[in-house]
Amino acid sequence: MIIDTHSQLWTKEALATFPPVMLRSYEEKFKEVKTFELEEIIADMDQAGVDKSVIVGIDAETVSRYKVPNELVAEAVRRFPDRFIGFAGVDPHKGALAVDELVRGVEELGLVGAKFIPHLLEMSPNDPRMYPVMEKAQELNIPVLFHTGTHFHTGARLKYCHPESLDDLAIDFPELKIIAAHFGFPWFYEALTVVQKNENVYFNIAGWAPKHIPEYVIKMMNGPLVDKGLLGSDFPLIPRARIIKELKELPIKEMTFHKLTSENPAKVLGLL
């Protein structure tokens, strides 16, 4: 079973929630921003041989006016429960309401993780305002996924996305499964140091055409971090078929491919 641990919900309804400045940033980088209905997302998965994909809700409403409602994610999972796995988006600026929304997302909507975009929240992962949400996530036994590294959002500050801040979370919440998205590029040495140091921290390769993954990251996936890497696409930014094809062309061991695409994601998502 191949599991994509990080993809976006770019249906017509989801894209309608994007602030204009964000859409312009994507258009400048990718030339075209189009919607993908659920059936088209599944077709992309089928073409790549991907069995299941995480889709994420987003809540950065307080600072960035950006919110992909958890209901949209839950509805996609309800329609295709064998293909989609839903993560909730909550905005820590909302305090107790964010905690309540996380509980609702898990217990009522059936979502099994949470996604955070620090630069759109203007809040580092180790900000004290983040901690009530992290405490609840640990209690609910769900993984948390953080954007780390560079981004394409004009006007948003990089300083919130440094992966080193995940070290504090890993220490303060030792039972919480933490995922550093995009292996923290360009701070991948720091990101993988945090991953190697802390048993409860993982990384994904979302948003990268594998042929461009730095040699050091591949070396670590093949070696000491073979149990920590996770497949991620960041679809629709990169087609999954391209990712799987290029992964198979990399100098990675057969065991590394299996761990990256199947065993490690299943472990983190509680599917084993």
Tell me the pLDDT band of 22, cut-offs 50, 70 and 90: confident
What is the average per-residue pLDDT within 194-208? 97
> What is the pLDDT averaged over residues 104-123?
97
Dihedral, CA atoms, 140, 128, 125, 201, nearest 10 degrees? -50
pLDDT for 8 equals 93
Tell me how far apart the alpha carbons of residues 10 and 264 are, in angstroms, rounded to a whole number: 26
- Of 2, 5, 1, 3, give the one whose Cα is nearest residue 205: 5
Residue partners of 112: CB distance under 8 A and separation at least 6 = 85, 86, 87, 106, 142, 143, 269, 270
Rounded to whole angstroms, how far apart are CA atoms 223 and 227?
9
Phi, psi of 43 (to 5 degrees): -60, -40
Measured distance CA(61)–CA(120) in Å, rounded: 9
Identify the pLDDT of residue 272: 76
Q: Which two tokens stand for residue 253?
A: 């061991």
pLDDT in tens, 150-166: 777 777 787 999 999 99
Average confidence score pLDDT of the chain: 94
Residues in the chain, overall count: 272
Q: How many domains does the chain have?
A: 1
The domain in which residue 175 lies consists of 3-268
Q: What is the value of pTM for the model shown?
A: 0.95
For 26-63, b/e burial (b = at least 16 CB within 10 A) is beeeeeebeebebeebbebbeebebebbbbbbbbbbbe
- Please write the tens of the pLDDT for every residue from 40-66: 999 999 999 999 999 999 999 999 888
Identify the pLDDT of residue 32. Answer: 67
Model confidence pLDDT, tens digit, residues 80-100: 999 999 999 999 999 999 999
CA dist 49 → 37, 44, 77, 173, 207 (Å): 19, 9, 19, 35, 18
Crossing angle between the packed helical segments 38-48 and 240-249, to the nearest 10 degrees = 20
- Given the structure tokens 């312009």, which residue do they identify? 24
Residue 36 pLDDT > 90: yes
For residue 93, the domain's CATH number is 3.20.20.140
Per-residue pLDDT band at 30 (split at 50, 70, 90): low
